[in-house]
Amino acid sequence: MSRALIIVDVQNDFCEGGALPVTGGADLAVAISEYVDAHQGQFDHVVATQDWHIDPGNHFSAAPDFKDSWPPHCVAGTRGAELHEDLDTEYIEAFFRKGQFTAAYSGFEGLLAPEDAVPTGERQPGSMPGANDSPQSAPDGDAIGLDEWLQSNDVEDVVVVGLATDYCVRATALDAVQAGYGVTVIRSLTAGIAEDLDEAVAEMELGGVEIA
């Protein structure tokens, strides 16, 4: 049995100064890095997800309702789509990009990024590969999704952290439960858009997610 940490969408556009900032996002990048450094021995695998929008249709809007539509953010290949500079990528094995041509909140909608797109150690600003990088494919030619990757690595339990508690963290955690994993969300290692996150937390708990 293997255990994996899933780091959700700790990207520049979701942190202070970005197109769609979550309060506390930059501090969260630091906190997650410190947690991984201290606890990486407890995980067999560490992966991360990224919003990676090319043309997501109505997900982008000039007059967003901040529920189903949003200002443009995390456009593939831009600085806003890059991981925050304070998120240490040393232990991250794989990245899963989601939302290229549609709205995508769950990391389980993501596809494995090319091997040369995986940053390790210290990165220079602007170093993330561009929008034209194709996802990795399985031998049959199908792109590799997060669930397939986790299964291929015998993962049974996942811990989810990142941004934002009430959107992509929630969606990723609930999809993980539906896929059959044991799921824990570390609430202190998430930050949300709404001021009151009790409803999102209650929904996750009702859906079978353990909140730590």
Is the confidence at residue 133, as pLDDT, over 80?
Answer: no
Out of 51, 74, 88, 98, the active site residue is: 98
Instruction: Give the whole-number percent of the chain exceeding pLDDT 70.
Output: 87
Mean predicted confidence (pLDDT) in 59-85: 95
Mean predicted confidence (pLDDT) in 46-58: 97
The question of whether 9 is a catalytic residue gets the answer yes
Residue 6 is part of a domain; what is its CATH number? 3.40.50.850
Determine which of 2-6, 124-128, 208-212 has the lowest per-residue pLDDT on average: 124-128
The question of whether 27 is a catalytic residue gets the answer no
The pLDDT, as a whole number, for residue 119 is 56
Residue 94, by phi and psi: left (phi above 0), alpha (psi -120 to 50) or beta? beta
Given a contact cutoff of 8 angstroms between Cβ atoms, the answer to whether 209 and 174 are in contact is yes
Length of the chain: 212
The domain in which residue 126 lies consists of 2-211
Is the confidence at residue 152, as pLDDT, over 70?
Answer: yes
Out of 13, 147, 166, 168, the active site residue is: 168
Out of 9, 51, 88, 166, the active site residue is: 9
Given a contact cutoff of 8 angstroms between Cβ atoms, the answer to whether 167 and 70 are in contact is no
Burial 4-18 (b: 16+ CB within 10 A, else e): bbbbbbbbbbbbeeb
- How far apart CA 103 and CA 60 sit, in angstroms, is 9
Burial 158-174 (b: 16+ CB within 10 A, else e): bbbbbbbbbbbbbbbbb
Query: Which residue spans within 67-181 are E strands per DSSP?
Result: 94-98, 111-112, 155-163
pTM above 0.95, yes or no: no
Bridge partners, residue 162, by sequence:
8, 190
- How far apart CA 115 and CA 200 sit, in angstroms, is 34
Domain count, the chain: 1
The question of whether 98 is a catalytic residue gets the answer yes
The pLDDT, as a whole number, for residue 56 is 96
Query: What value does the mean pLDDT of the chain take?
Result: 91
The pLDDT, as a whole number, for residue 115 is 76
Is the confidence at residue 134, as pLDDT, over 60?
Answer: no
